[in-house]
Structure 1
């Protein structure tokens, strides 16, 4: 009577061992497949490794985790891919319907500047409302998605809001940012956007650099991209210029130049007051921090306070 329980115990141990071997073998197969797929991708490109991986899955479909059956269907040749719809309106901005947050589209969309909105449960292009559509971004997104096997329908409505509505929204947004963003930050953004505008305009027109190298005017896709970039820079610059003007009107920001400051005046910079050592075209020179013997340059737009020299 004691032999039967012992026999059953041995049989259970054997079954457990066989199950462990099967699981280990499946894991090893997946690891080897992944390594080979990555190697093929590096050597031959993505098309080859997808074909090889699809062949392995067709031969051993049971070895895929059941939770990944949607991903398996996308990899198998001949399977229809998800149809996506890319839309742009002045009210909603640029959106992509039909793409999941963590699906195969997420890597492409993140790389091209899209973001996921939990509130909308949708992909969107940041700051695309009340703006002209970014045609270069849209074209690049469609190209990459179609190369990945998706079909993309594009619907663009460029009809703008009524002029009064646009002006009201712009003024309201500027007023909100004027009370929310530090004046020095706003001034710095204006300066940076003006610099970016000059740089982009120069790239469009062509130029010669300080080494004498010639750069021809932009053409083709580069011209489209630069014009698109310039349009967005102009919109950003117009917005932050309005914010700056609002802060100046409210008395929260200064507009100083070399005509307003003299040597010996006091200027406030980052919460501290410094005597002006020298007045420059776009900045003033003040003593370095902690009584340093060097001079530090402070742009006029970064000065938050000014006191004339006491006579």
Structure 2
């Protein structure tokens, strides 16, 4: 049996070197949920790039391979990369993927054109005027073959057209991936998520207590105490805090640039008042309450309850008299009725 090496770096993810076709490792790796990459010419663990090594997964794979007689070495480098480098690599890989999908879509479109040409040629070869098959005539076999060919080429052309449309759809969707990733609302949600993750990591580092139950009669609280992280757990927590802080700073910088460029309007309780109308999910909604991080509106589905909208989800703003509201230097400015507050139709994400 050959010697295998399982490696993990944040740049490359989890890979395995030393395998070869027919050596028996393929079935084991499939069972362990590894995948083969033609681009990398290697087996890899899905979604392992720029993430901590999945040690349980790697160790289970190594154990299965060793049980089959392979010699397995494990090399782990769990050092995080700079967030800017990670994002630049993602954009580059996505651009390469778009190029590959566009090339595939072009090939499929060419195949579809050829298939339709073949279909038209087969149809043209049929007897003119819809002449029926002459049973028992020497032309019967040729006539039936021509009909079958015309029918089969039509089916191939239809399938080729569908394949071309699917390939083009995938290419178009991939071309929008980076734009979606950096869309203002997506960035705002990511910042909120990272901030919450950072608070959780800091609680684990410092220790915390949480209330499990409060006795309604006595008011006594039953709490669960968690000691500060120590040893290897603390070292890992500190690494995660540093990395999460860096990610948060990166996306906050992206958000700040979007605001500076005017692609994002920064709404807050300082510029929205009760009675205003905010544009959300395709309709205007009256603000019934202004909160620290959200505004409260009537139910968007007509229920008897209220809904809350995060400020980052608001697409547009107008006052109770339907006059557009612009935000300039952190202040609300009322525009005349009929004037738009954006270069886009109301409701388009900004």
For 1:196, the equivalent position in structure 2 comes to 197
1:180 aligns with 2:180: yes
C-alpha displacement of 1:262: 0.5
**Structure 1 residue 252, shift from structure 2 partner:** 2.9
The TM-score, its normalising length taken from structure 2, stands at: 0.50
Corresponding position of 1:154: 75
Structure with higher helix content? 1
Tell me, yes or no, if structure 1 residue 121 matches structure 2 residue 41.
Answer: yes
- CA shift for structure 1 position 232: 4.8
- Aligned alpha-carbon RMSD (Å): 3.9
Unpaired segments ≥5 residues, structure 1: 1-79
Match of 2:305 in 1: 294
* Structure-1 residue corresponding to 2:285: 274
Structure 2: tracts of 5 or more residues without a match:
93-175, 213-222, 324-350
Q: Residue 275 of structure 2 aligns with which residue?
A: 264
Q: Is 2:28 the partner of 1:104?
A: yes
Residue 305 in 1 paired to residue 306 in 2?
no
Alignment length, in residue pairs? Answer: 218
When normalised by structure 1's length, the TM-score is: 0.56
Q: Is residue 248 from structure 1 mapped to residue 270 from structure 2 by the alignment?
A: no
8 Å CA contact retained: 1:86, 1:154? yes
Secondary structure of the 2:59 match is helix
Is the contact made by 1:253 and 1:304 (CA closer than 8 Å) also made in structure 2?
no
Change (3 A) 1:249 1:295: same
In 2 relative to 1, CA 106–225 (structure 1 residues): closer, same or farther, beyond 3 Å?
Answer: farther
Spell out, residue by residue over 1:26-75, the C-alpha distance to the aligned partner (whole angstroms, 9 max, x if none).
xxxxxxxxxxxxxxxxxxxxxxxxxxxxxxxxxxxxxxxxxxxxxxxxxx
Shift of residue 193, structure 1, vs aligned partner: 1.6
The Cα shift of 1:284 comes to: 0.7
- Specify the alignment match of 1:83 in structure 2: 4
